[in-house]
Amino acid sequence: MPLLASTLTMQQLKVVMFLSFAGSASGQELARHLGVGLATVTGIVDRVVAQGLAGRHEDPHDRRVRRVELTEAGRRLTSEIIEAGTGGYIRLLRRLDTETLRTMETVMRKIEDAMREMHAEDAEDAEDADPA
């Protein structure tokens, strides 16, 4: 299992997985996602960078902002984690009957809708907080 072989803390894993889906993020974006302060996220990112899983670079649109993105090693690790999880998930789903799977699909769609609403609310809150 790739996750068990890694030495990532839960917060570091959250950063790595967030970056695998987001592509790159600023420290502010990561802090908001994790629900921690910028100083805390800086330490977390420092340790992920030290492990060779991510790197920092200048934002092309704002030189004051440093963006974090996964290295090839980070992308490889997240891919392995996702593949391992998917394999277990498929084994589990094969054990369920059709009616249960249909119910799950309905519930998952409702969860997806709720997540979209939350994401839209978070984006609005971020816009309201940014006086620029």
pLDDT in single tens digits along all 132 residues of the chain:
555 557 899 999 999 999 999 999 999 999 999 999 999 999 999 999 999 999 999 988 898 999 999 999 999 999 999 988 888 888 889 999 999 999 999 999 999 999 999 988 888 877 777 665
pTM beyond 0.85, yes or no = no
Shared domain check, 118 and 74: no
Q: Are residues 23 and 81 in the same domain?
A: yes
Q: What own/partner pairs with CB < 8 Å and gap ≥ 24 does 50-56 have?
A: 51/7, 51/8, 51/12, 53/8, 53/16, 53/77, 54/15, 54/16, 54/19
**What pLDDT, in 10s, does the model give residues 36-59?**
999 999 999 999 999 999 999 998
- Same-domain status, 8 and 46: yes
Furthest C-alpha separation in the chain: 54
Same domain for 89 and 46: yes
User: Is the same domain home to 89 and 100?
Assistant: no
Range of the domain at 122: 96-132
As for how many domains the chain has, the answer is 2
- E-only strand ranges, the chain: 24-26, 54-59, 62-70
89 and 108 share one domain: no
